[in-house]
Amino acid sequence: MKQLAICIPTYNQPEMIREMSIRCLDIYKENNIDIYIYDSSPGSETERIVLEYKVNYNNISYAHLPSDIHSNTKVLNAYKEIIGEGKYEYLWLCPDYIQLTAEGVKCIMQHCRSGFDVCVLNYRDVEHIGEKRYEDIDVFFRECAWHMSSYMATIIRISSFADVDWEKFFQRYTIPERINHSHVAFYLEQLAKLPDARAVHVPISSEHMRVSTYRKESMWKKEMFAVWAEYWPETIRALPEQYRHKDEVIRKLGINTGIFGWTNFVALRREQIYGREVYQKYRNEWKNLTNIPAVFLWILAILPAEMVVLLKKPSFKRRFMNAHLRRFCARNENIVIYGCGFVAEKTSVILDELHIKYQGYIVSDSNNEKQCFHGLPVIECSELVQRNRDVGVIMALNKENAIQVIKERPGLQLYKVFYMYKYEEVLK
């Protein structure tokens, strides 16, 4: 039995398939990996390219599907077919614009040999989870489900998915309001049935994979509010009851991917995709989808598209940061600042101006620091971890140092963290 098959759904992207073939087929063949191309293009160019490469590569297969088929129907049918063959240990769903490097193949194969039921590859580890193994599937859901919405994120162990009731699954998740995220439901429904499910989160980088130079803008951009503000919550809420953090997972996606981040909202307003009608339609849902205060979303919605440039002014960005800080601090009984440098100095001034009380400062190693800073105590991170868990940590470090601290101090993951580096322009 072969270790891995890669399923690549595609539509009208022959350039990407050729580029992938040139860059990856030798690597895949050397590692005994089979490639399945599921193409729903109305023309035959993609098929012609695949047949051209099949002359020298016996590890690539091609299937043509109707051009009007939904992308997720294509994916689910591919899963059903490849799982039914029983020829592989693992199966990875890979978009046509993602190409593995030799290092990426090595990383994936290493984790496939470890016997996990699901492996999540995270290119943007925004929560700085690092490599983490899970035996509590609800914790896995809480931390990883939002990222599984990406086609490239999930590798499954085929034997763990061999008993899927396809008819029941299709009836439940291929209805219009759930089909766009039915692949996520597929993973999580099956994991919920496994008595001793094991999963792993693996951070990856440009060392492991590349994005095609031919990648285009998403074709469903104008439908994004339906896809992410309606269909995503609907799918997550339909999952088994043992997943207890559904609201948190729903909200994480919009924040962590940037789909419902301020920069994207501004771009969508400039393109007149976001406006009053969208704001009103989801008026009662914004708090469940994003961390942007509703008042800012309303201002943006009524602002003429040609005046959006005004939002780039430092004064507006400062108000935006202040609103986020107030909300973060209001949710936590005690506030501490991590750091005693320039960013911490600026953070202290901002909190004082906002009349927000904080208890002191945290450092990685107190041996090289003062005992007090701005008249408040400085304690070591290890001491914080042993204290009250009802603490909000304002990470007053630059991005590189903040990520390093999170990785090296796993106890910090017990706390809510606010990253000041996300507002570096305001802190200058």
pLDDT in tens, 244-271: 999 999 999 999 999 999 889 999 999 9
Whether the Cβ atoms of residue 198 and residue 134 lie closer than 8 Å to each other: yes
pLDDT at residue 37, rounded to an integer: 97
**Mean pLDDT score, 317-329:** 88
CA-nearest of 374, 279, 282, 290 to 327 is: 290
What's the CATH code, domain 313-428?
3.40.50.20
Helical H segments across 14-87, by residue range: 14-30, 45-54, 71-85
pLDDT score recorded for residue 196: 93
What CATH class has 2-216?
alpha beta
What percent of the chain lies above the pLDDT cut of 70?
96
Taking the C-alpha atoms of 241, 243, 246 and 249 in order, what is their torsion angle to the nearest 10 degrees? Answer: -160
Q: Residue range 9-24: average pLDDT?
A: 95
Strands (E), 136-265: 154-157, 199-203, 209-211
Are 321 and 423 contacting, i.e. CB atoms less than 8 angstroms apart? yes
Name the band, by pLDDT with cuts 50, 70 and 90, for residue 364. Answer: confident
More confident residue, 200 or 125: 200
What SS3 class is residue 134? strand
Q: How far apart are the C-alpha atoms of 110 and 123, rounded to whole Å?
A: 17
More confident residue, 46 or 389: 46
Give the residue-averaged pLDDT of 396-422: 85
Q: Report pTM.
A: 0.82
| pLDDT per residue as tens digits for the range 116-175 | 999 999 987 888 888 999 999 999 999 999 999 999 999 999 999 999 999 999 999 999
Tell me the average pLDDT across 190-208: 95
Q: Where are the domains of the chain?
A: 2-216, 222-230+240-312, 313-428
